[in-house]
């Protein structure tokens, strides 16, 4: 499957089902933008889409290529190339202190304990969080824990970062801080979210519904179509 | 023993993890061989003194152990009835000492140090083909998530009481277990995403 230098993501007629329920059927897409948003109701397939990118799930049909890798066959490489930030930091954090948590990723890459700790400290310092190193993760707020998860992923320097509703339970100031942190990241970002303000900052926005692409383009246009559609649905249900 | 690490630099923090774990194993083993209050009583005092020597953060943690007092009181009562007062004191002081020392080790030892000590101790198993890294990771996960699950249970029970529920809340157990299973799946997925499994295939999330 050909991929030009700018195209980092390419899907060709990808199909994926959970049991008998199809999530995607013949999904085709090419992306060259560095900031991509995924929009859609719950169950639209956003999270599944992200999990296909790093090999957590594999398509049953079709072809998928992410930064030149096929996540279905090059799982280990895809997991290194695509960092993943989950919605709930408590499901991602494994170790009791910040330094140990940051170090864990380096340990999985084969570094020694001393090397991992040194690299982790260096990255914490880079984000102005060196004073967190010895703190217990339980002492951090929800936003700080999510920041730790994002820093842990950034520190491993993947080519792509996939974020699955990363700010869903955070207050506005924390959201803005983390959005700024991500905006400065050199990686390709792909974010599934319900946060329309965040999605408006993307270069391209894809609206998914029941595994199909409903709209794809400039964020302002896609958000407007999505909001109009939501209003129509709400009116039909007699809620507005 | 299953509670979090207290960051600090006390003298106990500075003792190597392997030494602390070995001392804990030895003292606990010795405690269960003694039947005399003149031995278990001072041992309990020593454990308390060690605990308090860590500093203020440990004192707060000690207060939070109050929830165990009814359990110890119940054991003491049974022992008084069936074996007499001295046997009761020996049993309870022995248990309290073992618990305090185990908690002290957890509170003052970073998880990575503990894992390294375990990996060292498990080295012989490597020759039998056992994946010692996985055992060490499982150990880390237990230490990390048992307190999380306990606080989740407390939150659930609080919500139940706020809505008029009474009693111990046993009716909440099935839903809580379902949540634990869901949580374990998410954690496994997060570990896969972070490359914790060295094989080339995600273990849990296949379609």
ipTM: 0.71
Q: Mark whether B36 and B94 lie in a shared domain.
A: yes
Residue ranges making up the domain that contains B36: 1-109
Q: Are A33 and A9 within 8 A, CB to CB?
A: no
Last residue of a domain, one of B79, B109, B139: B109
Q: Across the strands, what pairs with A35?
A: A189
Q: Quote the tokens at residue B36.
A: 């005399």
Q: Mark whether B56 and B140 lie in a shared domain.
A: no
Q: Mark whether B91 and B140 lie in a shared domain.
A: no
Burial class (CB in 10 A: 0-12, 13-18, 19+), A236: exposed
H or E element, residue B112 = helix B111-121
Q: Are A57 and A51 within 8 A, CB to CB?
A: yes
Q: Mark whether B4 and B88 lie in a shared domain.
A: yes
Instruction: Give the residue ranges of chain B where pLDDT is below 50.
Output: 1-2, 199-207
Q: Is A103 on the interface with B (CB under 8 A)?
A: yes
Q: Mark whether B26 and B76 lie in a shared domain.
A: yes
The edge-to-edge listing of strands for the beta sheet with A160-164 is A82-85, A160-164, A188-192, A35-39, A204-209, A212-217
- B191 in a structural domain: yes
- B51 in a structural domain: yes
Q: What is the pLDDT of residue B206?
A: 44
Read off the pLDDT of each residue in A88-101 and give the average, rounded to a whole number: 87
Contact B144 A92 (CB under 8 A): no
Lowest mean pLDDT among A80-94, A128-142, B143-157: B143-157
Q: What is the pLDDT of residue A160?
A: 96
What b/e sequence results for B174-195 when a residue is b if at least 16 CB atoms lie within 10 Å of its CB, and e otherwise?
eeeeeeeeebeebbbbbbbbbb
Contact B4 A93 (CB under 8 A): no
- B206 in a structural domain: yes
- B117 in a structural domain: no
Which residues 163-222 in chain A show a CB within 8 A of chain B? none
Q: What is the pLDDT of residue B174?
A: 84
Q: What is the pLDDT of residue A170?
A: 84
Q: Quote the tokens at residue B145.
A: 């998530």
**Whole-number Å distance between alpha carbons of A92 and A101:** 10
Chain A residue with minimum CA distance to B184: A91
Q: Mark whether B92 and B141 lie in a shared domain.
A: no
Q: Mark whether B77 and B26 lie in a shared domain.
A: yes
Better pLDDT: A199 or B116: A199
- Chain B residues near residue A93 by CB distance under 8 angstroms: 144
Contact A108 B192 (CB under 8 A): no
Q: What is the pLDDT of residue B170?
A: 79
Choose among A17, A95, A99: nearest Cβ to B144: A95
**Whole-number Å distance between alpha carbons of A216 and A42:** 18
Of B8, B23, B94, B99, nearest to B55 (Cα)?
Answer: B8
Q: Are B12 and B107 within 8 A, CB to CB?
A: no
Read off the pLDDT of each residue in A184-197 and give the average, rounded to a whole number: 93
Q: Is A92 on the interface with B (CB under 8 A)?
A: yes
Chain B residue with minimum CA distance to A20: B207
pLDDT bin (cut points 50, 70, 90) of residue A37 is very high
- B118 in a structural domain: no
**Whole-number Å distance between alpha carbons of A62 and A42:** 24
Coil, helix or strand for A168?
coil
Q: What is the pLDDT of residue A218?
A: 95
DSSP character at residue A26 = E
Q: What is the pLDDT of residue A5?
A: 62
Q: What is the pLDDT of residue B168?
A: 67
pLDDT bin (cut points 50, 70, 90) of residue A213 is very high
Q: What is the pLDDT of residue A1?
A: 53
**Whole-number Å distance between alpha carbons of B127 and B67:** 43
CA distance A70 to chain B (A): 13
Q: What is the pLDDT of residue A75?
A: 85
- B122 in a structural domain: no
Q: What is the pLDDT of residue B24?
A: 92
What is the Cα gyration radius of chain A?
A: 19
Q: Mark whether B64 and B160 lie in a shared domain.
A: no
- B116 in a structural domain: no
Q: What is the pLDDT of residue A2?
A: 52
Contact B206 A58 (CB under 8 A): yes
Q: What is the pLDDT of residue A239?
A: 61
Chain B residues whose C-beta sits inside 8 Å of any chain A C-beta: 4-7, 110-112, 116, 140-141, 143-144, 147-148, 183, 186-187, 189-196, 198, 200-202, 205-207
Q: What is the pLDDT of residue A110?
A: 86
Read off the pLDDT of each residue in A86-110 and give the average, rounded to a whole number: 87
Q: What is the pLDDT of residue A137?
A: 85
Q: Mark whether B3 and B104 lie in a shared domain.
A: yes
**Whole-number Å distance between alpha carbons of A206 and A40:** 8
Total domains in the fold of chain B:
2
| Half-sphere exposure at residue A148, Cβ-oriented, CA atoms within 13 angstroms | 34
**Whole-number Å distance between alpha carbons of A168 and A159:** 24
Q: Mark whether B84 and B153 lie in a shared domain.
A: no
Last residue of a domain, one of B109, B139, B171: B109
Report whether pLDDT(A85) > 70: yes
Q: What is the pLDDT of residue A240?
A: 52
- Chain B residues near residue A55 by CB distance under 8 angstroms: 202
Last residue of a domain, one of B75, B109, B143: B109
- B115 in a structural domain: no
CA distance A178 to chain B (A): 20
Q: Quote the tokens at residue A17.
A: 């089902």
Q: Mark whether B207 and B167 lie in a shared domain.
A: yes
Q: Mark whether B59 and B155 lie in a shared domain.
A: no
């Amino acid at each position: 499957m050909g991929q030009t230098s700018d195209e980092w993501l390419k899907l060709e007629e990808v199909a994926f089902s959970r049991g008998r329920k199809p999530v995607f059927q013949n999904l085709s897409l090419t992306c060259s933008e560095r900031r991509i948003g995924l929009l859609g109701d719950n169950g639209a397939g956003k999270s599944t889409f992200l999990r296909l990118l790093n090999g957590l799930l594999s398509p049953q049909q079709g072809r998928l290529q992410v930064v030149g890798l096929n996540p279905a066959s090059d799982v280990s490489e895809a997991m290194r190339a695509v960092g993943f930030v989950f919605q709930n930091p408590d499901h991602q954090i494994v170790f009791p202190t910040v330094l140990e948590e940051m170090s864990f990723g380096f340990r999985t890459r084969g570094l020694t304990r001393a090397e991992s700790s040194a690299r982790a400290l260096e990255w914490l310092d880079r984000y102005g969080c060196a004073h967190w190193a010895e703190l217990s993760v339980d002492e951090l707020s929800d936003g700080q824990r999510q920041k730790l998860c994002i820093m842990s992923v950034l520190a491993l320097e993947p080519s792509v970062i996939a974020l699955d509703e990363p700010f869903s339970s955070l207050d506005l100031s924390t959201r803005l801080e983390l959005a700024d942190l991500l905006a400065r990241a050199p990686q390709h970002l792909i974010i599934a979210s319900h946060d329309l303000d965040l999605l408006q900052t993307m270069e391209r926005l894809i609206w998914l519904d029941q595994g199909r692409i409903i709209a794809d383009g400039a964020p302002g246009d896609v958000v407007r179509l999505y909001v109009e559609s939501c209003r129509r649905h709400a009116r039909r249900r007699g809620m507005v | 023993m299953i509670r979090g690490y207290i960051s600090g630099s006390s003298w106990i923090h500075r003792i190597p993890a392997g030494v602390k774990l070995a001392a804990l194993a030895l003292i606990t083993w010795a405690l269960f061989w003694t039947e005399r209050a003149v031995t278990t009583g001072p041992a309990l005092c020593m454990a308390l003194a060690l605990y308090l020597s860590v500093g203020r953060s440990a004192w707060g943690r000690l207060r939070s152990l109050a929830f165990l007092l009814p359990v110890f009181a119940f054991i003491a009562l049974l022992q008084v009835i069936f074996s007499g007062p001295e046997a009761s004191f020996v049993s309870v002081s022995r248990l309290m000492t073992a618990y305090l020392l185990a908690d002290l080790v957890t509170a003052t030892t970073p998880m990575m140090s503990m894992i390294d000590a375990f990996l060292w101790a498990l080295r012989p198993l490597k020759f039998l083909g056992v994946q010692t890294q996985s055992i060490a990771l499982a150990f880390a996960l237990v230490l990390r998530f048992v307190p999380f699950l306990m606080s989740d249970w407390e939150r659930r029970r609080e919500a139940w009481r706020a809505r008029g529920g009474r009693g111990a809340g046993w009716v909440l157990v099935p839903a809580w277990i379902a949540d634990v299973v869901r949580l374990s799946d998410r954690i496994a997925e997060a570990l896969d995403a972070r490359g914790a499994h060295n094989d080339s295939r995600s273990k849990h999330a296949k379609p």
